[in-house]
Amino acid sequence: MTTPATQVPSTVREVGPSDTPPVKELADLSVLIGGQGGDGTLTVSDLLARYFRKRGLYVYTSRNVLSRIRGGHADSSVRASRDAISAIKPTVDILVAFDKEALEFGRPELEADGLVLYDSSVFQTDLPATFGFPFATLAGSQLGQPIYKNVAAYGVLSVMLGFDPALTRSVIEERFKRRGGEALEKNLKALEIGRKAALEHAEPMHRFTVVDGTAHDLRLMTGNQAVALGFVVGGGRFFAGYPITPATEIMEYLQRYLPSVHGVVRQAEDELAAINMVIGAAYAGARSMTSTSGPGLSLMTEGIGHAGAAEVPIVVADCQRVGPSTGEPTRHEQSDVAHLAHIGHGDFPRFLIAPGTVDDCFYLTVDALNLAEKWRLPVILVLDQALCQNSSTVPGFDLSQVHLDRGKRLEAEAVATRPSYKYYELTPDGASPYALPGTPGVTSQVTGNEHDEYGHVSVNPVNRVKMMRKRMEKLIHAQSDLPLSRTFGDPAAKIGFIGFGSTTGPIREAQDRLQTRGVSTRFFQARTLFPVPARELSAFLEPLDHAYVVEHNYAGQFAGLIREAMPSYHARLRSILKYDGLPFRAAEIVKAVEGGTDGRVG
Amino acid sequence: MVESAKPIPSTWCPGCGDFGALAALKKAMAELKIPPHEAVLVGGIGCSGGIHNFLEINGLHALHGRLLAQAVGVKLANPKLNVVAIGGDGDGYAIGMGHFMHAFKKNASILYVVMMNETYGLTKGQAAPTAPLGYEGNIERPFDAILAALSQPQPNFVARTFSGDPKTLTKVLVEALEFNRANRGFAFVEDLSPCVTYNDTFKEWREKVLDVSTLPGYDASDRAVMFRLCLETMDKGRIPIGVMHRPREVSTEAESLELKLLPDRIGPAVTPIDLEGNLPTYQKLLAAAG
């Protein structure tokens, strides 16, 4: 993403003859679409995203962007750029307002030369740079249903931004082909209605044009879809879950994908059933996962501890949202981190793996499956709402980078040559060789009670200590197996950032902005959160004056984990925290750094 | 011979009803020639839940109340395994009630045996959901699992047995296991298994049990008939036992969960996951995504 110095983002280059209004060529464009829930704002951003991707641009879409939200307001945004991006743009170039609230809420975000398209059949305004089109009336009178107003708006935008008409149309076909029939036909008509209305207006056409990008064969997808794909390719074959925002799409994608590879997906009666079905399937030998969010995670806690004690390899994808309790189901937070690091009663090992971008979601899901099976414990994929549900363009996934590691798995022939088979055999690294139930000639006992090597219940104090150490020391022995962090920025910098998950995009963009202001920074993107990657972190922190831990929670949870693991770095850590339910914008991080102290944003 | 987990001596009180169930299960497995490695016994929490330690079998000791969820997970991951879940009535009808009712809905071919004794023996005799009025000060009306099962549209195989009659118990378990092995769906057996320490009902139950198959009009394929026979028996102060439901034939609706998902019975646990073998499928999947 880091922008080369020669290339300025958001270029303003004036083209065209001098006697016509100047056309602004955008290399980094953002469109915000706002209205009431049900106005179809997500469809507009999705159509635009698909179009921009076809033009070789990197795309990032986001829902619920605005903080001044009440009632039924809903909005979504799309950003297209010549540079790789994974964050929303701090400002808006074009605002589409389906109602007056959307105008009021979105207008403060508008660029100085930005403009507004509004539905003049819903409200009127004479604010500067606003252009009314009666979207709802046009769609209602010509198609019988005002609901198609969103695609009419897409039609107006397509003319305004000089889209290629055939490509504009193909995007609609692609989007609605699955539903087909009337839906496709009416949406194509709605597009033409919008285009015609736009062509009849001299204004505000041809103010902007979108440049072509050079990125080809990009995929546009959400983190949830990438997790589902990574699960299948990583050999995942059993999934059980319970619907919960923002995790549900993982289950929905897997319902589509898994049957083609002999896999099974079940929607369980609750999260208790989901985690325990996963434990049963994993015990039987299937690579298994569930996905959930805060409230479901709380219910799954006992099961996760059971997997740790009984040494059953499971993966739990936690799509964090605003907590505690029901919190804000559709909003963004990273406030499960402390809970996950300490989850469950008693001591047991677990790994927390945190992808930072959509393609990271794919590869690290494969890693999570490998780690769980090899080390016989629960692995948690730490995700967040923005990462799970916002979509961005990613390069095609490289299957040559995918490797499966089944650890000390014993096939029937290998078992037959052994003197004994014990599910909890003591080994130097804590991971015991394992055979699937059904392997001829041997049986096993698997339990969450403390047990001996055979799995028989034991309260012998000497055995207890051996078994505790067997399990807990996996945290030490597995360390070189865990996903490495990534670092970005100037190695000579004195100011650092530490972050994980979807803050990766905004932090890297903040680095660029700070650099243009002469402030060099270095960024540590943690991809393993627990065990805390102390060796990597101390190498990162050593040359720095201080580092900001950037995270979405009130308490500075990841900073707390780092302080707990690395007390000598206590004074070097500061926090930049945001917990208003919305993802960081680069400008907020820049501002906090320039303020120079611990910052709470929003 | 590879040495692996062997049965250990039971921890149950002498005379416990659970011994009857243990003996019957061993006999039923021997009669059906099920090798120990092809069976998984998922145990609940409580006295009865330890049963997997006391016979030669693969044991999966579940969390309290969650044995059915784990058992369904095992069955769907590898339908070729014989999966038996055994727990107490506190485990199944209190903390595990949600999974119990959903087991009828799911209809995976697993056998669920509840050792019913009206009490929480392992925690020293608190009232279970089945406890009669007055037991340990119980003022809530007892839950009846057979009536709950019969109220379901497709209860499949349902029976109540008595540990004091191990011969009938063995016969019912054989029939239930065969039902599962034919992938006909869920089998539920409630075994009246007295707790000799905290609620010794052996004598009382021996007098009260009444085999409903001896009653006129008995028809285990007719839920309405069986519901009426049970209520009439209970109204007389007797405890109905016997096979309470058994579908006459396999209907499409009764087709088990594992067959609906995996018609060839090859489960996710044993399907190859190597990249090479799956490459064409993966490439197609990735090409269509995003």
- The model's pLDDT over B115-136, given as tens digits with 9 standing for 90+, comes to 999 999 999 999 999 999 999 9
User: A13-216, what's its fold?
Assistant: Pyruvate-ferredoxin Oxidoreductase; domain 3 (3.40.920)
What's the pLDDT band for B154 if we cut at 50, 70, 90?
A: confident
Least-confidence region, from A198-202, A402-406, A552-556, B116-120: A198-202
pLDDT at B197 over 50: yes
Looking only at the bridges linking them, the beta strands covering B119-120 and A314-322 are unpaired
What's the pLDDT band for B192 if we cut at 50, 70, 90?
A: very high
Q: Do A229 and B285 touch (CB under 8 A)?
A: yes
Give per-residue pLDDT as tens, A365-387: 999 999 999 999 999 999 999 99
Return the pLDDT at A598: 57
Q: Do A399 and B273 touch (CB under 8 A)?
A: no
What's the pLDDT band for A71 if we cut at 50, 70, 90?
A: low
Q: Do B268 and A264 touch (CB under 8 A)?
A: yes
pLDDT at A23 over 80: no
Return the pLDDT at A206: 73
Return the pLDDT at B249: 79
Looking only at the bridges linking them, the beta strands covering A73-81 and A28-36 are antiparallel
pLDDT at A596 over 80: no
Residue A487 near residue A502, CB atoms below 8 Å: no
According to the 3-state scheme, what is the secondary structure of chain B? CCECCCCCCCCCCCCCCHHHHHHHHHHHHHHCCCCHHHEEEEECCCCHHHHHHCCCCEEEECCCCCHHHHHHHHHHHCCCCEEEEEEEHHHHHHHCHHHHHHHHHHCCCCEEEEEECCEECCCCCEECCCCCCCHHHCCCCCCCHHHHHHCCCCCCEEEEEECCCHHHHHHHHHHHHHHHHCCCCCEEEEEECCECCCECCHHHHHHHEEEHHHCCCCCCCCHHHHHHHHHHHHHCCCEEEEEEECCCCCCCCCCCHHHHHCCCCCCCCCCCCCHHHHHHHHHHHHHHCC
Q: Name the residue among B104, B111, B47, B65 with its Cα closest to residue A275.
A: B65
Interacting residues of A504 by C-beta distance below 8 A, sequence separation 6+: A86, A356, A357, A525
Mean pLDDT of A341-361: 97
Q: Do B268 and A286 touch (CB under 8 A)?
A: yes
Tokens coding A340: 């996950």
Nearest CA in chain B to A259: B261
CA distance B231 to chain A (A): 30
Mean pLDDT of A237-247: 97
According to the 3-state scheme, what is the secondary structure of A326-356? CCEEEEECCCCHHHHHCCCCCCCCCEEECCC
Beta bridge partners of A23: A15
Nearest CA in chain B to A446: B60
Helix (H, G, I), strand (E, B) or coil at A147: helix
Element (H, E) at A37: none
What's chain A's average pLDDT? 92
- Residue in B42, B50, B69 closest to A273 by CB: B69
Return the pLDDT at B157: 97
Beta bridge partners of A94: A31, A115
Calculate the CA A313 to chain-centre distance.
24
Determine the Cα–Cα distance for residues A166 and B140; give it in Å rounded to an integer. 71
Helix (H, G, I), strand (E, B) or coil at A59: strand
pLDDT at A181 over 90: no
Give per-residue pLDDT as tens, A448-461: 999 999 999 999 99
Determine the Cα–Cα distance for residues A321 and A387; give it in Å rounded to an integer. 11
Nearest CA in chain B to A425: B4
* Alpha-helical segments (H) within A144-247: 149-160, 165-176, 181-199, 223-233
Does A23 or B66 have the greater pLDDT score? Answer: B66
What separation, in Å, do the N-terminal and C-terminal C-alpha atoms of chain A show?
A: 26
Return the pLDDT at A15: 36
Helix A135-143 to helix A149-160 angle, to the nearest 10 degrees? 120
pLDDT at A595 over 70: yes
Return the pLDDT at A204: 76
% of chain A residues with pLDDT over 70: 94
Return the pLDDT at B248: 87
Q: Do A446 and B59 touch (CB under 8 A)?
A: yes
pLDDT at A63 over 90: no
What's the pLDDT band for A5 if we cut at 50, 70, 90?
A: very low
Mean pLDDT of A588-600: 80
Return the pLDDT at A8: 35
**Domains A221-401 and A484-601 fall in the same CATH topology:** yes
Return the pLDDT at B251: 72
Please count the other Cβ atoms lying within 10 Å of the Cβ belonging to residue B203: 10
pLDDT at A12 over 90: no
Nearest CA in chain A to B267: A262
Give per-residue pLDDT as tens, B80-119: 999 999 999 999 999 999 999 999 999 999 999 999 999 9
Q: Do A276 and B63 touch (CB under 8 A)?
A: yes
Q: Do B275 and A404 touch (CB under 8 A)?
A: yes
Mean pLDDT of A86-108: 92
Element (H, E) at A256: helix A248-257
Give per-residue pLDDT as tens, A463-491: 999 999 999 999 999 999 999 999 999 99
Q: Kindly report the CA angle at A499 between A271 and A600, in degrees rounded to 5?
A: 95
Mean pLDDT of B24-41: 97
Q: Do A262 and B271 touch (CB under 8 A)?
A: yes
Helix B67-77 to helix A271-284 angle, to the nearest 10 degrees? 40
- Residue in B50, B273, B278 closest to A287 by CB: B273
Mean pLDDT of A528-533: 98
What's the pLDDT band for A4 if we cut at 50, 70, 90?
A: very low
Does A182 or A431 have the greater pLDDT score? Answer: A431
For residue A170, count CB atoms less than 10 angstroms from its CB and return exposed for 0-12, middle for 13-18, buried for 19 or more: middle
What's the pLDDT band for A243 if we cut at 50, 70, 90?
A: very high
* CA-to-CA dists, residue A372 to A22, A78, A353, B268, angstroms: 58, 36, 11, 17
Least-confidence region, from A67-71, A122-126, A204-208: A67-71
Return the pLDDT at A599: 61
3-state helix, strand, coil in chain A (%, to 5): 40, 25, 35
pLDDT at A202 over 90: no
Q: Do B102 and A439 touch (CB under 8 A)?
A: no
- Residue in B2, B50, B76 closest to A441 by CB: B2
What's the pLDDT band for A250 if we cut at 50, 70, 90?
A: very high
Residue of B11, B37, B276, B278 to mutate for A, most A C-beta atoms under 10 A: B37
Give per-residue pLDDT as tens, A265-309: 999 999 999 999 999 999 999 999 999 999 999 999 999 999 999
Mean pLDDT of B17-22: 93
Domains recognised in chain B with CATH numbers: 18-288 (3.40.50.970)
- Sorted by where each begins, the domain ranges of chain A are 13-216, 221-401, 408-483, 484-601
Does the domain made of A221-401 have the CATH classification 3.40.50.970?
yes
CA distance A110 to chain B (A): 30
pLDDT at A73 over 90: no
Q: Name the residue among A447, A445, A454, A451 with its Cα closest to residue A425.
A: A454
Determine the Cα–Cα distance for residues B287 and A219; give it in Å rounded to an integer. 9
What's chain B's average pLDDT? 96
User: Which residues on chain A are in Cβ contact (under 8 Å) with B6?
Assistant: 454
Does A86 or B239 have the greater pLDDT score? Answer: B239
User: Which residues on chain B are in Cβ contact (under 8 Å) with A275?
Assistant: 69
Q: CATH top-level class for A484-601?
A: alpha beta
What's the pLDDT band for A597 if we cut at 50, 70, 90?
A: low
